[in-house]
Amino acid sequence: MLAGIASEDEWRVLRGCRVCEVRCGADSVRFVVSPSMHYPDVWSTMLLDGARKHVLDQPQPPRTIVEVGVGAGVLPVFLDRWLGERTDSEYVGLDLSPAACECARLNLEMNGAHTRFEMIGGGHLLRSLPARARGRVDLLVANLPQVPDAVAENRNDYYLEPTDVGDQTDEPRVGGLGLLLEMLREAKSVLASDGRIIFTLAGRCAGATITAMLSAAGAEFEVLETKRVPQDPDTRIDAFVREETERGLQFRFFESQSATCPIGARRAKLAMDDDQPVYYDLHVALARLC
């Protein structure tokens, strides 16, 4: 079957890929994910749950939906299921990685999706969004990397905040949220006046710091859902320790799923060095720009 549908680029993407199953509500969908790409995880499903509630709760589905960082195309495939033929909504998926867009296209084809989905690869954040969509985006969705480059080792690019592109903000890249803050600033030029943003938000920084940073980027937000998730033991959190020690920033890690008292980055790192599990709160949030 693939021989009939896959283009040359798609075949290239398919090499060495894995198949994964993603569940949302009553739906379960299979995706191919190539080794160079983000493997759908709890961040993906949190985003999906938030987007599903928002899209299905609206009397009219959002007309123009844009996702920054489309990855394997999890959101557009599910959107197609939720919206079916009953809407004239259009979706534009953007990703720094052209291979991610190929993979997303392939997953849409394999899942028999409608053709109103467009994927544009190779652009930083919202820069390659077509002019026709600018100022008209009703829903912007993003599950962006939130690990500063100094933190991660042995990781593919999709986990990292790029440092060489687009850093035009005066904000320091605090707690890994630099890319998200930059996206929120860019969102001003693409959102419709009543447009909304749904995004994943790691709660590793203290809540007040996060609120101050997002508000400085012009966003008012509410948390839709929070899950306590394990910190990936392969990720080094040294940069957070430095921010805590040198700049007095507060971090919120936890020693167990049920702990109520947070520990800072330094204690979290000691626990991780000792092969102990460490957790943080992952949020999915809904924002508007003010």
Ligand X SMILES: C[S@@+](CC[C@H](N)C(=O)[O-])C[C@H]1O[C@@H](n2cnc3c(N)ncnc32)[C@H](O)[C@@H]1O
Which residues in this chain contact ligand X in the complex, by CB under 6 A?
A: 38, 40, 43-44, 47, 68-71, 74-75, 94-97, 100, 124-125, 143-145, 158, 162, 179
Between 96 and 205, name the residue whose CB sits nearer to ligand X: 96
CB of 144 to ligand X, least distance (A): 6
CB of 224 to ligand X, least distance (A): 15
Between 103 and 210, name the residue whose CB sits nearer to ligand X: 103
Between 40 and 62, name the residue whose CB sits nearer to ligand X: 40
Between 97 and 231, name the residue whose CB sits nearer to ligand X: 97
CB of 243 to ligand X, least distance (A): 21
Q: How far is residue 88's CA from residue 77's CA, in Å, rounded to a whole number?
A: 16
CB of 95 to ligand X, least distance (A): 5
CB of 228 to ligand X, least distance (A): 19
One-letter identity of residue 104: A
Between 96 and 241, name the residue whose CB sits nearer to ligand X: 96
Residue 75: which of 95, 60, 99 has the closest Cα? 95
CB of 218 to ligand X, least distance (A): 19
Between 52 and 263, name the residue whose CB sits nearer to ligand X: 52
User: What is the residue-wise DSSP string for 13-77?
Assistant: HHTT-EEEEEEETTEEEEEEE-TTSPPP-HHHHHHHHHHHHHHHHSSS--SEEEEES-TTTHHHH
Burial class (CB in 10 A: 0-12, 13-18, 19+), 206: middle
